[in-house]
């Protein structure tokens, strides 16, 4: 099941944190980023896809080291729509950040300084999408959205761009 289908399932489940308001806020934040940095919305969405790939790798490593509950705690702590530079050091080493910035720059044409400004917002947005699967009662419970994200086929294509586009269509935007 695709990550967006898992998000839709979480929206329909009152035991999960997901809501249409949460999706709307994520979409609004992506749009605001485009305006704040005078960047093409598709470039921001492409950047979010690359951030998704790196985040997937980092969360897999966290799951190996500390289990699913550690991943859920990271998602709960850092998933949001505001800037949080602490998430960058919590998930990525400096070489990973440099690689991510370079890859985003090559794919989108955005300059490194712009990307560095966006990352403390983009990473929490990715985690906020995953947060939709968190249990309202106990963050240690199974998160089907995060599990789908982390257990996908490993083809390297974690397309947050598709998830954002589907969320936009779902909300009629």
CA distances (Å), origin 11, targets 16, 26, 117, 129: 7, 14, 31, 11
Residue-number span of the structural domain to which 45 is assigned:
3-170
107 Ramachandran zone, left/alpha/beta (phi>0; psi -120 to 50): alpha
pLDDT of residue 156: 45
- The pLDDT tens digits for 44-78 are 989 999 999 999 999 999 999 999 889 999 999 99
Q: How far apart are CA 90 and CA 84, in angstroms?
A: 11
Query: Which pTM was predicted?
Result: 0.90
Total number of domains constituting the chain: 1
pLDDT of residue 118: 97
Average pLDDT rounded to a whole number, residues 127-145: 89
Helix (H, G, I), strand (E, B) or coil at 19: coil
């Amino acid at each position: 099941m695709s990550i967006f289908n898992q998000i839709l399932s979480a929206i329909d489940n009152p035991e999960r944190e997901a809501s249409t308001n949460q999706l709307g806020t994520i979409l609004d934040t992506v749009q605001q980023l485009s305006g704040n940095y005078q960047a093409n919305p598709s470039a921001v969405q492409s950047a979010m896809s690359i951030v998704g790939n790196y985040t997937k790798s980092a969360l897999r490593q966290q799951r190996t080291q500390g289990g699913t509950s550690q991943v859920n705690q990271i998602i709960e702590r850092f998933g949001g729509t505001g800037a949080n530079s602490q998430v960058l050091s919590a998930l990525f080493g400096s070489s990973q950040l440099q690689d991510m910035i370079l890859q985003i720059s090559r794919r989108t044409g955005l300059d490194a300084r712009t990307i560095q400004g966006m990352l403390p917002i983009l990473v929490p947005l990715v985690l906020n999408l995953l947060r939709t699967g968190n249990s309202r009662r106990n963050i240690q419970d199974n998160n089907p959205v995060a599990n789908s994200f982390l257990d996908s086929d490993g083809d390297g294509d974690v397309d947050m761009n598709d998830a954002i586009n589907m969320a936009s269509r779902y909300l009629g935007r």
